[in-house]
Chains A and B, each alone.
Chain A
């Protein structure tokens, strides 16, 4: 009996605690978290800035049901310990209702279990590691490396009509299986196979790889490693007639300037190429980044899109906006058509999420990227 008496107040305290968690109350601001690399090796400070700018626009227009959206941004500097602490802090102390616009390279892999356990959804602006696309509570707004690879292979064999398609990749630990699956998807759609598949490209002199690709007669090479030395040596080896197709991470102003004249370099982008603000959907993004003086990068497009789809789903919620109701709304939502990407975005009830597919291509010309006229290449749709 005595034990029950002691246990009762503890139980009461626990109930009070659980009642508090799971959302930031029903009045006051709607708290939203984001984890990004603002310092460190992989820096994307423009992403939280873009998300914040969208939320401020919503707040100026009166907020959601009269409540303002407050963004709490954490810098994890690509440091695993800081990343897990950031997630814990946002979920337990700040009691955010969702994570929107994360772009840390380590967040998904480290925090996926925390998100599932806390029954909170994360809508990253940029899904970097494979875990971003294979977790029940994470759905990024970019195609990610694997869907992008399928689109790039499809572009090489079907759009450019190259017979000998080769792959020269550097593989991050844990993504080998995803790459094989992406190649298989392309083979299933087109019935074609790779002429050379080399996933051992790393640092060091690229010449031995280039010579091997040249010897095999590769006409298109899908590539994802260092840009400068690769193209400098490809030029030396006389590979001007080969179409080199780069992953989205190479689509930066600095890289366009690295490609020597006469070399064929194209890159698959994840959103409408940011270097042309007149493309469908880019006007919306350009307005946000221009008005708020945010750096123009593809990542900032992800920031705007993640914030936009979040606000759209938030508006569909009837009743209180809590972590529980937000998670429910995302799991039951209808697909949203967003012109900056190739396919509609949806969260949905699945155990894995990779809603965005396809890629649009740009070509390096005179040290700048120019957008190619074909729209989004979406293998399933086109195939």
Chain B
């Protein structure tokens, strides 16, 4: 049982990273991005195609991140240009459409789950330490550090810098921000590029644990959204905790014979219960929650 919990915790970092990607997009550009994992998978597959062709991992990685950034920029450009004044729901719907499109393009370009599975490089594969039966590889520490880095970094960016202030203004009141002279479209586009690049790095980090083909990686957005919900799409620290919680719950359910069959559902049920508990005094759709 304890081994399973530890085993689950080792995947907490990658779940947290997925959730953080969604929350950071929401905090920076006020979009619930359903295409996040698919964009990241595009970048990741560009990278792995390059490494398969013989390119060094450390050269291929920035190129992949750039490709992810470009796809993300296209999505951002469309959103800024045509849907800038639209509400949250319309923007989310646009990203759903983009998700569907990216998935079919990706399936065409990179193959389905039997023919298109790739081996992602694992530079941090060596064991760091062992807890009971569980070998904890360096990759776990890397994922966790990256998650903390994003949490602290984005927190600092938003709270302590001028760019952060502008971004907050932009995401909360886009029209007003433009009126007071914030160069909204350019700034937003730069943020979209960054988000695409970060998503690519995250997908590359999670791939050795969660899947090696385009459709599996693109569909990780469901896990990402569930984790993001724990932080109510706003708290980065709670999202980080949500990732660890999901990993933990998966570990526990894998070890208990009685609930094993429901391993896929149970963690999410617990999260829904948690959300309900947290929001029991809130009024949905009130100004504070939108």
Scan A58-102; emit 1 where CB is below 8 A from any B CB, else 0: 000000000000000000000000000000000000000000000
A202: which B residues are within 8 A, CB to CB?
263-264
Asked whether B145 is an interface residue with its Cβ less than 8 Å from the other chain, the reply is no
Q: Does A189 contact B (CB under 8 A)?
A: no
The answer to whether B114 touches A204, judged by C-beta atoms less than 8 angstroms apart, is: no
Q: Is residue B155 contacting chain A, with contact meaning CB distance below 8 A?
A: no
User: A200 at interface (Cβ–Cβ under 8 A)?
Assistant: yes
Q: A198-B260, A229-B210, A232-B209 are in contact. Are A238 and B250 (CB under 8 A)?
A: no
B8 sits at the interface (CB 8 A): yes
Is B7 in contact with A258, judged by CB distance below 8 angstroms? no
Contacting residues, chain B, for A257 (C-beta < 8 A): 119
In Å, the complex CA distance between A75 and B262 comes to 35
Known contacts being A203-B264, A205-B14, is A211 close to B7, with CB within 8 Å? yes
Pair A258/B209 contact, Cβ less than 8 Å = no
B11 at the interface (CB under 8 A from A): yes
- Interface size bucket, A side? 35 or more
8 Å CB interface, A244-290 against B: 249, 252, 254-255, 257-258, 260
Q: Give Cα A237–Cα B6 distance, bound, in whole angstroms.
A: 13
**Which among A43, A207, A226, A238 has the highest number of chain B CB atoms within 10 Å?**
A207
Flag the segment in B133-141, B163-171, B279-287 that touches A: B133-141
Instruction: Give the residue name and chain of the B residue nearest to A204 (CB).
Output: B250
Whether B114 and A207, one on each chain, are in contact in the complex, defined by CB atoms closer than 8 angstroms, is: no
Contact of B251 among A42, A199, A208, A252 (CB under 8 A): A208
Interface 0/1 of B207-237, CB less than 8 Å to A: 1111111011000000100000000000000
Among B126-173, those with CB < 8 Å from A are: 127, 133-135, 137, 139
Q: Are B111 and A236 in contact (CB under 8 A)?
A: no
Q: Is A227 an interface residue (CB 8 A)?
A: yes
B116 beta carbon closer than 8 Å to chain A:
yes
Contact B210 A236 (CB under 8 A): no
Which residues of chain A in 209-252 are interfacial with respect to chain B, using CB atoms and an 8 Å cutoff? Answer: 209-212, 214-215, 226-229, 232-233, 235-238, 249, 252
Shortest beta-carbon distance, A126 to chain B, in Å?
13
Q: Are B264 and A214 in contact (CB under 8 A)?
A: no
Q: Is A8 an interface residue (CB 8 A)?
A: no
Contact yes or no, A255 B117, CB < 8 A: yes
Q: Are A205 and B209 in contact (CB under 8 A)?
A: yes
A267 CB, nearest partner CB in chain B, Å: 13
Contact between A215 and B133, CB atoms less than 8 A apart: yes
A residues less than 8 Å from B209 (CB atoms): 205-207, 229, 232-233
Cα distance, A105 to B118, chains bound together (Å) = 24
The answer for the CA separation of A229 and B139 in the assembled complex, in Å, is 13
Judged by a CB distance under 8 angstroms, whether B255 is at the interface is: yes
Known A205-B250, A211-B7; contact A232-B211, beta-carbon cutoff 8 A = no
A41 contacts B by Cβ under 8 Å: yes
CA distance A136 to B22 in the complex (A): 51
Q: Is the CB of B11 within 8 A of A207?
A: yes
Contact in complex: A236, B135 (CB < 8 Å): yes
Within 8 A of A (CB), among B194-216: 207-213, 215-216
Interface residues of B in 1-55 (CB under 8 A from A): 3-4, 6-8, 10-11, 14
**A361 vs B118: C-alpha distance when bound (angstroms):** 23
CB distance from B264 to the nearest CB of A (A): 5
- Nearest CB of chain B from residue A5's CB, rounded to whole Å: 59
Docked-complex contact A208 and B254, CB < 8 angstroms: yes
Point out the residue from A200, A227, A233, A237 that lies within 8 Å of B263, measured CB to CB.
Answer: A200
- Output the least CB separation between A249 and chain B (Å): 7
Interface size on B, residues (CB 8 A): 46
B115 at the interface (CB under 8 A from A): yes
Let me know if A41 and B112 touch, CB within 8 A.
yes
Q: How far is the CA of A205 from the CA of B250 in the complex (A)?
A: 9
Q: Given contacts A200-B254, A209-B254, A236-B135, is CB(A228)–CB(B125) below 8 Å?
A: no
Check A226–B111 contact: CB distance below 8 A: no
Measured CB to CB, the nearest residue on chain A to B126 is: A236
List residues of chain A with CB within 8 A of the CB of B125. Answer: 232, 235-236
Q: A208-B251, A212-B254 are in contact. Are A203 and B117 (CB under 8 A)?
A: no
Complex Cα–Cα for A57 and B119 (A): 40
A contact residues around B127 at 8 Å (CB): 236, 238
When C-beta atoms are compared, the residue in chain A nearest to B261 turns out to be: A200
Cα distance A237–B4 in the bound complex, in angstroms: 13
* Contact partner, B134, options A42, A206, A237, A258, Cβ 8 Å: A237
Residues of A with C-beta under 8 A to B207: 228-229
Contacts of B69 in A (CB 8 A): none
Does B122 interact with chain A (Cβ within 8 Å)? Answer: yes
Interface residues of A in 167-211 (CB under 8 A from B): 198-200, 202-211
Q: Name the distance in Å between A228's Cβ and chain B's nearest Cβ.
A: 3
For B6, the chain A residues whose CB sits under 8 A away are: 211
* CB <8 Å contact, A228 and B119: yes
Q: Residue on B with the closest CB to A236?
A: B137
B247: interface (CB < 8 Å): yes
Shortest Cβ gap from A53 to chain B (Å): 21
CA distance A75 to B14 in the complex (A): 39
- Enumerate 6 A-B pairs (CB-CB under 8 Å) in ascending A order: A207-B134, A208-B251, A209-B254, A212-B3, A212-B254, A249-B114
Q: Assuming A204-B263, A210-B7, what are 11 further A-B pairs, CB within 8 angstroms?
A: A41-B215, A42-B112, A200-B260, A203-B210, A205-B10, A205-B210, A228-B208, A232-B120, A233-B209, A249-B114, A254-B116
